[in-house]
């Protein structure tokens, strides 16, 4: 039986690539854009599936793969994919949001606690020998006593909410649609910010959410407010955030993602009120393996191939 031809347009672990080669005829997309376009013009009509990570999928790309049936993305976010164009052509999209949700939610909680309890500075305080009988570390804020607004209430946002509720936080949320949950819903992010002590960003990046958190939202959150971002960097207007800290309009922020990562504004690096992480939301061995496995499994299911994890 002829194996389905798929395109590997992702940097994946070697064992994942080996699994793909076991079940499919795999074409490797060249990394240089000009080479990739030429490659697709030659081979694109044979491609029925794509293993995806960061490669941009737009209408020009889709025009070169007219027999494409399914895209299996390693990431949760699909901001590199023209989703409307893909769906209009009847192409199935699979991503890994349900796999990475728990660890990303754990990271959100980690960052929320770190910024409200000033954990990074507390570590430095001890290491510097500043902890003495006469020198106590400054008091932090209680996340359990806070009103926390979650921006985006999909798989990840709801996982964040469960953790916050277990701590005793008062949780509400913003999104394009009300969800079947017993939590206050806001259809305007500025009003959510005005009603919250902290905003946790867990929404996908799209035209609608690009710079969603701008100067107006930051002002509504207020000088005692906090922001945690485990979504995508451009959801926040970084220049507005820099300006807000310069004017003491926020108490703190904890950011796992940045607008132009891996570049981080020098103002963030120098400001002790920010906790910074290098996009590690899903960064555990277990979750990253599960994400890679799902890339293979989703393609195998689509083509009716018995894979190594039939119950995955």
Statement: the pTM of the whole predicted model exceeds 0.85: yes
Catalytic entry in 210, 211, 279, 288: 279
Q: What is the pLDDT of residues 218-234, one digit of tens each?
A: 999 999 999 999 999 99
Q: What is the pLDDT of residues 113-160, one digit of tens each?
A: 999 999 999 999 999 999 988 889 999 999 999 999 999 999 999 999
Cβ-contact 141, 119 below 8 angstroms: no
Which CATH superfamily hosts domain 5-95+286-302?
NAD(P)-binding Rossmann-like Domain (3.40.50.720)
Distance from chain centroid for Cα 211 = 15
Catalytic member of 89, 261, 273, 289: 261
Give yes or no: 23 in active site: no
**pLDDT at residue 306, as a whole number:** 73
**5-95+286-302 shares its CATH topology with 99-276:** yes
Q: How far apart are CA 86 and CA 91, in angstroms?
A: 6
Is 232 among the catalytic positions? yes
Q: Which of 29-33, 115-119, 159-163 has the lowest mean pLDDT?
A: 29-33
Catalytic residue (choose from 232, 259, 293, 294)? 232
- Read off the pLDDT band of 308 (50, 70, 90): low
Question: Which of 70-103 are b and which e, b meaning 16 or more Cβ less than 10 Å from the residue's Cβ?
Answer: bbbbbbbbbbebbeebbeeeebebbbbbebbbbb
| pLDDT of 86 above 50 | yes
Model confidence at 307, pLDDT cuts 50, 70, 90, reads: low
pLDDT number for residue 311: 46
* Domain layout of the chain by residue ranges: 5-95+286-302, 99-276
Q: Is 3.40.50.720 the CATH classification of the domain at 99-276? A: yes
Q: Encode pLDDT of 264-296 as tens digits.
A: 999 999 999 999 999 999 999 999 999 999 999
């Amino acid at each position: 039986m002829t194996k389905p031809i798929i395109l590997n347009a992702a940097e994946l672990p070697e064992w994942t690539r080996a699994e793909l080669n076991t079940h499919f005829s795999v074409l490797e997309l060249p990394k240089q854009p000009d080479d990739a376009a030429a490659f697709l013009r030659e081979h694109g009509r044979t491609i029925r599936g794509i293993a995806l990570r960061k490669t941009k999928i737009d209408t020009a790309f889709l025009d070169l793969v007219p027999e494409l049936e399914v895209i299996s993305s390693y990431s949760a976010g699909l901001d590199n994919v023209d989703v409307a164009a893909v769906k209009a052509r009847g192409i199935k999209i699979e991503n890994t949001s349900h796999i990475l949700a728990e660890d990303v939610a754990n990271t959100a909680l980690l960052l929320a606690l770190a910024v409200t309890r000033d954990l990074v500075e507390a570590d430095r305080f001890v290491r510097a020998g500043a902890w003495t009988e006469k020198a106590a570390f400054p008091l932090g804020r209680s996340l359990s006593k806070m009103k926390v607004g979650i921006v985006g209430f999909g798989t990840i946002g709801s996982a964040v909410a469960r953790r916050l509720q277990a701590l005793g936080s008062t949780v509400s949320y913003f999104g394009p649609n009300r969800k079947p949950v017993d939590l206050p819903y806001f259809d305007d992010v500025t009003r959510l910010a005005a009603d919250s002590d902290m905003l946790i960003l867990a929404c996908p990046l799209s035209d609608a959410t690009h710079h969603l958190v701008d100067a107006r939202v930051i002002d509504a959150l207020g000088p005692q407010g906090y922001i945690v971002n485990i979504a995508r960097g451009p959801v926040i207007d970084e220049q507005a955030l820099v300006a807000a800290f310069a004017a003491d309009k926020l108490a703190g922020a904890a950011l796992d993602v940045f607008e132009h990562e891996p570049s981080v504004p020098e103002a963030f690096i120098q400001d002790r009120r920010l906790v910074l992480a290098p996009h590690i939301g899903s960064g555990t061995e277990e979750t990253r393996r599960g994400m890679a496995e799902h890339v293979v499994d989703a393609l195998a299911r689509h083509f009716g191939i018995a894979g190594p994890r039939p119950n995955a």
